Amino acid sequence: MKKVLTGNFAAAYGAAAARVKVIAAYPITPQTTIVEIMSEIVADGLLDADFVKVESEHSALAACIGAQATGARTFTATSAQGLALMHEMIHWAARDRLPIVLANVNRALAPGWSIWADVTDSIAQRDTGWMQMYCENNQEVFDTILMAYKIGENENVLLPTLINLDAFFLSHTSQVVDMYDQDTIDSFLPPYRPKFKLDVNDPRAFGALTSPEHYYEFSYKIQMAHQKAKEVITEVGKEFGRTFGREYGLTESYRCDDAEIVLVTYGTIAGTAKDAVDRMREKGIDVGLLKIRYFRPFPEEEVCQILKHAKKIGVIDRAVSFGHEGPFFSEIKAAMYGSNIPLYGFVAGLGGRDVSIADIESVVNYMGNNESSNLIWIGVKK
Amino acid sequence: MSDKKENETVDIKSANDMPPMPVSLGSMRTNKTASWRSIRPIIIEEKCKLCMICWKYCPEPAIFPTAPPTIDYDYCKGCGICIEECPFDAIISEKEGK
């Protein structure tokens, strides 16, 4: 069944299609409609789930952690300041290996108060142990929620996922979303059956005191799970393609095969960049696009494979790591260590500033006429 | 509620033997928590008057009120409170790992 949905509705319907058992979330613009629609779905009896009303985002994720530890599939959603408030619990969910799915509507952090798109909020959660992916469109939001549960719940993975969608560009923009047939979704995503859970008939302590003898190995196991997750993400993406007709991977390569200049970006900028690439190709410019879907685990092998034939690489970030450069640029530069390909680091669109096709054409134009540089601000009023 | 895990022990030699998350596999009795002790309290039997003040003060509690009292070195953190509180200087400290 196809419907015209905003990104927030796609996220809510995606979680409902995944048959989540517990939803705990606190409203924050621009995520609010996710919470609203989920509470309606539960109140209307359309989903067999508990909707837990909480007093903060910290409590929202804490409630999900408790519920997930009992063996229930859980879902939450937030944005910016809300994600920052969850931070302590974000570590907890990952270290307790609870495959919770969190839809984060990427929003800039205050002050100045901004409700507009910027990925600084999710980048700030980089080292928590969560898988992190970035959506280009509303179909990808819906699809990725279904895949994220299947990937996260794999017994060799057991990791939570942060699914990122840009504020307003996706959250409040309507697009056609294919919602598939629920029976097919149910066979693709069987119920969550964890090996270890809170159960009064088989009591266990979770998250207990862990001495230096064991903490180190638990951290090592999280890293091993991330490495394994790269395979699982690829396998599940292929299975999704066979089942529903849309295949996904860690990255998406668009017209890269013979490209001299390859742009690397993520989120909604990747969608605009595809149009920019098409337009430049018509003018005879050999340009391609590498869209990064997963930031963690970081797909360095795929990135190297796709970028090694490029003559120039330009990365566009919707965030900046103050005192350094764009966060994705750092990763791409590190992945390409040892190659002689010039790398350009661009920052654009902070705080929801629009990144247009013309902006992306100007990036390619800049790369044609200038030496490479780690931090180039697109459209800043200097 | 079952107590089947009460005496279960888990032999952990490598990360492969460990569960993915810090979850108890057996009883918490198998979770020894004294690895960071730097001093070891030792009860001198001849000086002990069986007043059990050490048993009352031990915060863990890792001292059992036997005659003479016994110290469970799997849980004693070496805080030295028993040494400080013993009115008869019947508990001495010895440096660990020498």
CA gap A193, A196 in Å, rounded: 9
Mark whether B37 and B2 lie in a shared domain. no
**Cβ pairs bridging A and B (under 8 Å):** 61
Helix axes A138-153, A212-244, angle to 10 degrees: 130
Check whether residue B46 and residue B90 sit in a common domain: yes
A96 alpha-carbon distance from chain centroid: 20
Structural domain including B71 reads 33-95
Chain B interface includes A156 (CB < 8 A): no
A165, A298, A147, A332: which is closest to A232 by C-alpha?
A147
Say yes or no: B6 and B24 in one domain. Answer: yes
Cα A162 from chain centre: 5
Residues in chain B within 8 Å Cβ distance of A203: 1-2, 5
Over 60: is that where the pLDDT of B35 sits?
A: yes
* Stretch A350-374: mean pLDDT: 97
Mutate which of B11, B13, B21 to disrupt the A interface (most A C-beta within 10 Å)? B21
pLDDT of B32 reads 80
Range 215-234 of A in CB contact (< 8 A) with B: 217-218, 220-221, 224-225
Q: Is the link from the previous residue into A297 a cis peptide, with omega within 30 of 0?
A: yes
Could you tell me the CATH number of the domain that includes residue B46?
3.30.70.20
Distances (CA, A) of A150 to A104, A160, A240, A284: 19, 11, 10, 42
Give yes or no for A97 touching B (CB within 8 A).
Answer: yes
Residue from the list A201, A212, A218 with its beta carbon closest to the beta carbon of B22: A218
- pLDDT at position B8: 58
Last residue of a domain, one of A244, A263, A284: A244
Lowest-pLDDT range, A28-32, A95-99, A196-200?
A196-200
Domain total of chain B: 2
Q: Report pLDDT digits (tens) over A277-291.
A: 999 999 999 999 999
Q: Do residues A138 and A274 share a domain?
A: no
Name the domain boundary from A244, A278, A304: A244
Cα dist from A97 to A100, A212, B67, whole Å: 9, 19, 46
pTM for the structure as a whole: 0.89
Would an 8 Å CB–CB cutoff place A158 in contact with chain B? yes
Q: Quick: pLDDT tens for A253-266.
A: 999 999 999 999 99
Report the pLDDT value the prediction gives residue B2, as an integer from 0 to 100: 43
- Asked if A171 and A233 sit in the same domain, the reply is yes
**Residue-wise pLDDT tens digits, B37-94:** 999 999 999 999 999 999 999 999 999 999 999 999 999 999 999 999 999 999 999 9
Among A136-150, A202-216, A292-306, the least confident range: A202-216
Asked if the model's pLDDT at residue B30 lies above 90, the reply is no
**pLDDT tens by residue, A229-243:** 999 999 999 999 999
Tell me which of A244, A265, A293 is where a domain ends.
A244
Chain B residues in contact with A202 (beta carbon < 8 A): 2
Q: What phi and psi values does residue A62 have, to the nearest 5 degrees?
A: -60, -40
From the list A98, A200, A204, the residue facing B24 with the nearest CB is: A204
* Buried b / exposed e along B27-61 (16+ C-beta atoms within 10 A): beebbebbeebebbbebeeeebeeebbbbeebeee
Sign of the C-alpha dihedral, residues A175, A319, A82, A58?
positive
Given pLDDT bands bounded at 50, 70 and 90, which one contains residue B29? low
pLDDT surpasses 80 at B7: no
Judge whether A95 is closer than 8 Å to chain B, CB to CB. yes
The more confident residue out of B1 and B25 is B25
Q: How far is A70 from chain B (nearest CA, A)?
A: 13
**Is the pLDDT assigned to residue A154 strictly greater than 80?**
yes
How far away is chain B from the Cα of A153, in angstroms, using its nearest Cα?
Answer: 12
Q: Chain B partners of A219 at a C-beta cutoff of 8 Å?
A: none
A35: CATH: 3.40.50.970
Which residue in chain A has the smallest CA separation from B14? A217
pLDDT for position A297 = 98
8 Å CB contact of B22 and A221 = no
Q: Assign B33 a pLDDT band (cuts: 50, 70, 90).
A: confident
Same domain for A201 and A263? no
Interval A195-242: pLDDT, tens:
999 999 888 888 888 888 899 999 999 999 999 999 999 999 999 999
As a whole number, mean pLDDT of residues A263-279 equals 98
Are B12 and B39 found together in one domain? no
Q: Which domain holds residue A368?
A: 251-377
CA angle A281, A358, A114 (to 5 degrees): 135
